[in-house]
Amino acid sequence: MSQSYPADVIPPVEAVDCTCSACSMALNCLCKNLDTGLKSRLENEVLRNRVVNRGQSLFEIGESFQRLYAVRSGSVKVYSLIDNGEEQVMGFYLPGELLGLEAIDRGVHECSAVALETSSICEVKFKKLEQLCVAQPILQQRLHRIYAREIARDYAMLQLLGRKSAEQRLANFLLHLSRRFADRGYSAEEFNLSMSRHDIGNYLGLALETVSRLLARFQDQELIEVKRRHVRLLKHQALAVLAGEPVNPVARRHYH
Amino acid sequence: MSQSYPADVIPPVEAVDCTCSACSMALNCLCKNLDTGLKSRLENEVLRNRVVNRGQSLFEIGESFQRLYAVRSGSVKVYSLIDNGEEQVMGFYLPGELLGLEAIDRGVHECSAVALETSSICEVKFKKLEQLCVAQPILQQRLHRIYAREIARDYAMLQLLGRKSAEQRLANFLLHLSRRFADRGYSAEEFNLSMSRHDIGNYLGLALETVSRLLARFQDQELIEVKRRHVRLLKHQALAVLAGEPVNPVARRHYH
DNA sequence: CGTACTATTGAGCGCTCTCAAAACCAGTGG
DNA sequence: CCACTGGTTTTGAGAGCGCTCAATAGTACG
């Protein structure tokens, strides 16, 4: 599984300093820039580290909600089961992203989460985190921000599923992945998909064959190069056009 | 606009006591069961009441984020603009529901909100609410719950758009509306749609003609009666089957 | 080299969209 | 009272996107 593809060049998880001080995952990292007292309380009482292999689950549907999970390396698939029993992929999570929020409302996980590759996961005890938040406005603000981001993410996804064609969805998916990799210091042009065509299709509301065909078409149009799970984006702009995004980097929609 | 249809039998807004103490909208109401000191601070410093007419907006895309909005009576449509400039309906809000959460992440409204009929709205100053939360764990918990509900709502919607047929979507929509009306003390069988076919279609990712055709089909099948905006649900169970919900009220999926 | 899994490619069909016209409804003004 | 207008909804016809079914190909692994 671990070939020497670009996005895979991460230090082996055993070698990583697992305290939060060493966590570089910017915005989502709760501990960043906290005073040392608070930081060490967080690290000791709230956080815990864990390595999971491909296919192992972090939590399962129906499990009682205890923790949130932050991906430190690797990637995770979150899915729910719909009425007839089949999977519905709700999202893929990359390093620095937080999952498990869906369980807060009812106190029970509505989704399952499995590692798509060997991954390092930071677990956050939610109850304790909430307790700490009471006395720590800064922490509380960060938690708010995490909620808010998740809501914003969901809104974007609703637009995608509600109104866009298969082509737009896939172009969007690739660009979004690319940006997330770039934000994390990986290449924005070249990366590996840790998820199958089936998972991608499921996530985007498409048949896996449609995903495969569209990737082939994008390649014919010389927008990307794709071989199995390895992808290289050749023309971001053109993809953005396909995705239905505003392209002109100057005339971006401006709020206030 | 204000005909004497079942769901319209609400007291005229002027007559309503506008303090939060009088707000009966259960879960979402931040003030419920607070000690009187805190309650009056909330009511005086944080909350404000307002009546809007059909077509008036509560906030617009690009406006800086100051407040959350709770519907007290009437209904509100929330929509964003997609790249080409057309509307994308993100949701319809009934009494007791809270909107504006989408703006928290960036501090700017990503959506616009307009009243679908004359409505009474409770405005919540977000900054002040956050400040009060710092000292008030109970308030903070409620705010968390509000976030969590929104996320859960979005997840359900993602499933709907990603995986379900037009028929399933519309059946789901009707049942969901019905349940929300019922929760608010209105009839679960008979109600008025305050939104157009166009809005419904937009919201569900369908063409307005498809919505119209399906409503006609449901009526042919004697599942509902529909005349313009007035709807009566005749067979909840059968609709639930169409919606793809687990039907057997005993064998409901059980978590823990 | 065989097995299992994943991905590609092809053919045909059906759901839902688009385009178009007609019907319906509420409001306005003669 | 009726005609006119603008908006919404219904209904019809046809086309196309994306699905399903099915066969083939590629890859990993024992």
B87 in A contact zone (CB under 8 Å): no
Query: Residue B24's Cα: distance from chain center in Å?
Result: 16
* Owning domain of residue B194: 165-255
pLDDT tens for each residue of A228-255 = 999 999 999 999 999 987 765 554 444 4
CA–C1' distance A134–C6 (Å)?
A: 49
| pLDDT at residue B247, rounded to an integer | 63
| pLDDT at residue B40, rounded to an integer | 79
Say which DSSP state B47 is in: E
Q: Which residue has the tokens 């939360």?
A: B133
CB contact under 8 A, A61 and B163: no
Interface of A with B in 141-180 (CB under 8 A): 141, 143-145, 147-152, 154-155, 157-159, 161-163
The better pLDDT of the pair A145, B90 is held by: B90
pLDDT at A134 over 60: yes
| pLDDT at residue B137, rounded to an integer | 80
What DSSP string describes A78-121? EEEE-TTS-EEEEEEE-TT-EE-GGGTTTTB-SSEEEESSSEEE
A94 vs A180: CA distance, rounded Å = 8
From the list B82, B104, B111, which residue is nearest A148 (CB)?
B104
A111 vs A106: CA distance, rounded Å = 12
pLDDT tens for each residue of A189-206 = 999 999 999 999 999 999
Q: How far is A82 from chain B (nearest CA, A)?
A: 8
| pLDDT at residue A185, rounded to an integer | 87
Domain limit, last residue, from A109, A141, A161 = A161
Q: Going edge to edge, which strands form the sheet with A47-52? A: A47-52, A119-125, A67-73, A98-99
Tell me the CATH number at B145.
2.60.120.10
| Two tokens, residue A234 | 């050749």
B227 in A contact zone (CB under 8 Å): no
Q: Which residue has the tokens 């990503």?
A: B110
User: Does residue A244 approach strand D to less than 7 Å at its CB?
Assistant: no
Question: In terms of domains, do A38 and A56 share one?
Answer: yes
Residue A19: count of CB within 10 angstroms of its CB: 16
For residue A205, give the nearest of B167, B163, B18, B215 by alpha carbon.
B163
pLDDT tens for each residue of A24-75 = 444 456 677 677 777 777 777 777 889 999 999 999 999 999 999 999 899 9
A7, part of any domain? no
B206, part of any domain? yes
Domain limit, last residue, from A142, A161, A180 = A161
Tell me the CATH number at A200.
1.10.10.10
| pLDDT at residue A139, rounded to an integer | 83
Domain limit, last residue, from B118, B139, B161 = B161
Question: In terms of domains, do B134 and B189 share one?
Answer: no
How many domains, chain A? 2
Question: In terms of domains, do B157 and B192 share one?
Answer: no
Say which DSSP state A108 is in: B
| B128 backbone dihedrals φ, ψ, rounded to 5° | -65, -35
| pLDDT at residue A9, rounded to an integer | 41
pLDDT at A2 over 60: no
- Predicted TM-score of the model (pTM): 0.85
Question: In terms of domains, do A141 and A231 share one?
Answer: no
Q: What is the mean pLDDT of each run of 10 residues along chain B (256 residues)?
A: 40 46 50 74 80 93 94 93 84 92 92 94 89 82 86 92 94 96 91 96 96 96 94 95 73 42
Dihedral sign (CA B132, B138, B140, B143): negative
Do B154 and A154 touch, CB atoms closer than 8 A? Answer: yes
